Amino acid sequence: MNAMLPRPTILTIEPYAPGASKVAGVNRITKLSSNEGAFGPPPGAMAAFIETAAELHRYPDGGSTELREAIGARFGLDPARIICGAGSDEILLHLIMSYGGEGTELIMSAHGFTMYDITGRYAGCQVIKVPERDLKPDVDAMLAAVGPRTRMLCLANPNNPTGYLLPQSEVARLRAGLRDDVMLVLDAAYAEYVTDPTYDAGAAMVDSAPNTVMTRTFSKIFGLGGMRVGWGYFPAHIADIINRIRGPFNVNIAAQAAAVAALAEPGWVEKSIAHNTEWRARLAAALEAAGIRIWPSEGNFLLADFTTAERAKAADAALKARGVIVRGMGGYGLPHCLRITVGTGEECNLVADTLSAFMHAV
Ligand SMILES: *Cc1c(COP(=O)(O)O)cnc(C)c1O
């Protein structure tokens, strides 16, 4: 019998390792491993979700029309150039499958978001991971890595898992240094959390530069990771391509309703930003005071550096013993680090107390 085999490149892909959500023997879990918002889902989104129950036999609106209009109104964008997806991961998949593929190269920064690597390989691209300086994307090195077969460059800004925000002037220099036929994908999953006033999540560059796209998500500040809703903002010619190949009903009826309601939730984003800005700083200060190096973050998480993999592992165990789940960074080549989501004040204090005691003991 002949063995059934996938395309050879598929076997080079390691499955995405999601943040854990359980610890054996511990009942009360504090999940700080997936950068989900600190406040649960918006109440209005929960109500809208429940309301769709009686409509579950209906196909969703394939164009996510109401949601695209709500996004357009909220962010001042043309709804015709917005496309919604089952998470921004789906948007990324369609972009890379449409414009990447066999014989092309996709460039990412060494510690960029793993999905660029997984999806790039899936599409058949050669994925080039460009070395960083001090966990910062190196614009000159990325530009130097561009070759005739390069079709895409994916940049998460702020980046996950480092939290680093590439300054706007550097993003502009990156775009200006790319050929027009190299797509720049600006993944702004954490845009709302950024406090730097010069930051542009990407919309201005989509409108002013060639072949630049922005992806966004409802999974982080809007608290809807379980619903799988994301979106992208594109030049018209790219929106046209993605609309040809996406699933005709790619965003389900409950997800569309919940996302529309999340956008309408009064004060939600403001409250979440204020909380994150305050507690990101408080948690960072407490961990630094305990002797842990914290990388600067503009997201809703911190990258805590324990210098050695052994110490990071022991810190992870100390947290787990108190039911706190954070994200190990071995898969990102940073086994000496843990990524910790900024949770509620109580959760941040639990992390700070646990890690202070841990650092005292080692
Ligand atoms: C969380 C995250 C996303 C969002 O993915 P969804 O599929 O929308 O849930 C995208 N990019 C980065 C860098 C992220 O951290």
Does residue 212 have a pLDDT over 80? yes
At 23 the pLDDT is: 81
Reported confidence tier of residue 134, pLDDT bands at 50, 70, 90: very high
Reported confidence tier of residue 16, pLDDT bands at 50, 70, 90: confident
Domains 18-40+268-361 and 43-264 share a fold: no
Locate 144 and state its tokens. Answer: 């130097």
Q: What does the domain layout of the chain look like in residue ranges?
A: 18-40+268-361, 43-264
Q: How far is the CA of 196 from the centre of ligand 1 (A)?
A: 20
Whether 31 contacts 325, CB under 8 Å:
yes
* Ramachandran class of 323: left when φ > 0, alpha when ψ lies in -120 to 50, beta otherwise: left
At 17 the pLDDT is: 82
Query: Pairing state of beta strands 337-341 and 327-328?
Result: antiparallel
Q: How far is the CA of 216 from the centre of ligand 1 (A)?
A: 8
Residue nearest to atom 12 of ligand 1 (CA): 189
Which of 20-29, 36-45, 207-216, 311-320 is least confident? 20-29
CA 162 – CA 151 distance, rounded (Å): 25
Q: Name the H helices within the chain.
A: 43-51, 65-75, 88-99, 114-123, 139-145, 168-177, 203-208, 236-245, 253-264, 268-289, 309-321, 345-361
List the CATH code of the domain at 18-40+268-361. Answer: 3.90.1150.10
Nearest alpha-carbon partner for 172 in 133, 198, 148: 198
Q: How far is the CA of 215 from the centre of ligand 1 (A)?
A: 9
pLDDT tens digits for 245-297?
999 999 999 999 999 999 999 999 999 999 999 999 999 999 999 999 999 99
What dihedral do alpha carbons 352, 356, 358, 360 form, nearest 10°? 180
The per-residue pLDDT of the chain, averaged, comes to: 96
At 179 the pLDDT is: 98
List, edge to edge, every strand of the sheet that includes 212-217.
82-85, 230-233, 212-217, 183-187, 150-156, 105-109, 126-130
Q: Is the CB of 113 under 6 A from ligand 1?
A: yes
Does residue 39 have a pLDDT over 90? yes
Q: Is the CB of 160 under 6 A from ligand 1?
A: yes
Ligand 1: atom nearest CA of 159 is: 13
Q: Strand, helix or coil at 88? A: helix
In CATH terms, the fold of domain 43-264 is Aspartate Aminotransferase; domain 2 (3.40.640)
At 163 the pLDDT is: 98
Q: Residue 333's CB: how many other CB atoms inside 10 A? A: 10
Section 39-48 average pLDDT:
98
Reported confidence tier of residue 219, pLDDT bands at 50, 70, 90: very high
Does residue 1 have a pLDDT over 90? no
User: What is the best residue among 33, 34, 89, 222 to mutate for testing ligand 1's pocket, by most ligand atoms within 8 Å of CB?
Assistant: 89
Section 129-143 average pLDDT:
98
pLDDT tens digits for 229-246?
999 999 999 999 999 999
Section 337-351 average pLDDT:
98
Single pTM value for the model = 0.96
pLDDT tens digits for 81-123?
999 999 999 999 999 999 999 999 999 999 999 999 999 999 9
Reported confidence tier of residue 215, pLDDT bands at 50, 70, 90: very high
Reported confidence tier of residue 362, pLDDT bands at 50, 70, 90: confident
